[in-house]
Structure 1
């Protein structure tokens, strides 16, 4: 079963950072589950990445997760990521290669919380925030504090219309959350990510994609290792509002839909 792999449109701009590897994985996934896992593990062997406690990254079939074992804890202890033959886990695997330090930092914090609190009916505030990041984060790289302020204040007109030329020059968005990437295989206007603001130097925007990702990977991972986390750390970001990501947003009228571009905290 292809599980929607054929529906990935690599022309979508938010997929550009993972396209090269993603196309190979897509072809393997369309051939079957075994070929798909083999492709992931071949790349993992070459990349020599590690999970939250320094274990070498690998991918296993979901049914190989031992009964009673926690998903995050198993990854931290063994390095093996239980992986299903579906889009959700396809994009999760992709993020291990695009942002390996962030993924390892998330895994380390998740495992730490499990060790301290165990597995209960609820995750608790820190694990909830870590899961939210893992599933739905958008990394908002920004060299202009006024743009970060506009995002936090829900000032969509400033962020997307007045300062439209700033995108790619003083700010940009990079999707990290694998559940969000899965949703965007079939994009819809209200699709919203949880933006994590990353302060970057002005010369960040002169770097190539690999260098930008490496800089963000390092800075965000360091913060995840030390910061107190809760859901208030994030700012909502309707992702199809990002200039250049959706043809309809070339018209400023696109941002008049207050069911998507809500006034939020700005009106308080």
Structure 2
């Protein structure tokens, strides 16, 4: 039984996730997280993910199933930072980058021309002029908060696309993407906030309204590149 079906049948979310997780961790109720113990440290020490009922943790659990190696890598990096600096009111640049990736990242495999336009935030070229090239691209959403937002979509939902292009040689094998990504991510990289924005409902084929080029004229969503010193 799939996770959603199990939950609709009354199975608690942690149990439903654990039943479906092949490579992933065990999921436990949030109430089982001991008082005073950091969430990420608990996962690292026990291999168990405290989970609340609701869409946010539902998508987090699905991400553990889809990208088990990467989720473990993120947890290892979080736990290392906590062991070094503890848990304070300010996370620090590494944990900030880790959290941003975990919550809102997306991965892009695409021809160079699309990457060039994306990094330049040349939205018209990226999403109108080069529209046919998107047939050769694949955008995969990683962040569980990002996925949660898309349950009730709105135009300004923006992903943080990792600036490391997914190698074309990996094809559409998400297990290979997972292995590559787990090896790619490290603390200095994430501390640098290696992301570029992409309003996901502007991606060709993702939203009916974007068939009209006027969709991209909204500069409140499709913001131009900032000019240094401006």
Q: Does 1:259 align with 2:220?
A: yes
SS in 2 for 1:121: coil
Please state how far the C-alpha of 1:37 moved relative to its aligned partner.
2.5
Whole-Å Cα distance in 2 between the matches of residues 257 and 231 of structure 1?
Answer: 29
Whole-Å Cα distance in 1 between the matches of residues 167 and 225 of structure 2?
Answer: 29
Whole-Å Cα distance in 2 between the matches of residues 265 and 147 of structure 1?
Answer: 19
- Which residue pairs with 2:16 in the alignment? 39
- Which residue pairs with 2:123 in the alignment? 156
RMSD after superposition: 1.9
Please state how far the C-alpha of 1:231 moved relative to its aligned partner.
5.5
Whole-Å Cα distance in 2 between the matches of residues 201 and 73 of structure 1?
Answer: 32
Whole-Å Cα distance in 2 between the matches of residues 234 and 200 of structure 1?
Answer: 13
The alignment's TM-score, normalised by the length of structure 2, stands at 0.92
Deviations 1:112-167 (A, max 9, x none): 1000100111110110000000000011122x233212111111111111111111
- Which residue pairs with 1:7 in the alignment? none
Residues 138, 174 of structure 1: 8 Å contact kept? yes
- Which residue pairs with 1:188 in the alignment? 154
Equivalent residues, number: 229
Counterparts of residues 85-104 of structure 1 (less than 5 Å) = 85-104=53-72
Whole-Å Cα distance in 2 between the matches of residues 130 and 226 of structure 1?
Answer: 8
Whole-Å Cα distance in 1 between the matches of residues 186 and 193 of structure 2?
Answer: 17
Counterparts of residues 32-71 of structure 1 (less than 5 Å) = 32=10, 34=12, 36-44=13-21, 47-49=22-24, 57-71=25-39
Residues 3, 16 of structure 2: 8 Å contact kept? yes
- Which residue pairs with 1:54 in the alignment? none
The alignment's TM-score, normalised by the length of structure 1, stands at 0.80
SS in 2 for 1:195: strand
Consecutive unaligned residues of structure 1, counting only runs of 5 or more, are: 1-20, 50-56
Q: Does 1:137 align with 2:91?
A: no
Residues 93, 191 of structure 2: 8 Å contact kept? yes
Counterparts of residues 1-268 of structure 1 (less than 5 Å) = 24-32=2-10, 34=12, 36-44=13-21, 47-49=22-24, 57-142=25-110, 144-169=111-136, 171-202=137-168, 204=170, 207=171, 209=172, 211=173, 213-225=174-186, 227-230=188-191, 232-265=193-226
Deviations 1:175-228 (A, max 9, x none): 110001111100000111111134344455xx4x5x1x1222122111113653
Distance 1:118 1:201, change over 3 A: closer
SS in 1 for 2:189: coil
Please state how far the C-alpha of 1:73 moved relative to its aligned partner.
0.6
Consecutive unaligned residues of structure 2, counting only runs of 5 or more, are: none
Distance 1:229 1:181, change over 3 A: same
- Which residue pairs with 1:53 in the alignment? none
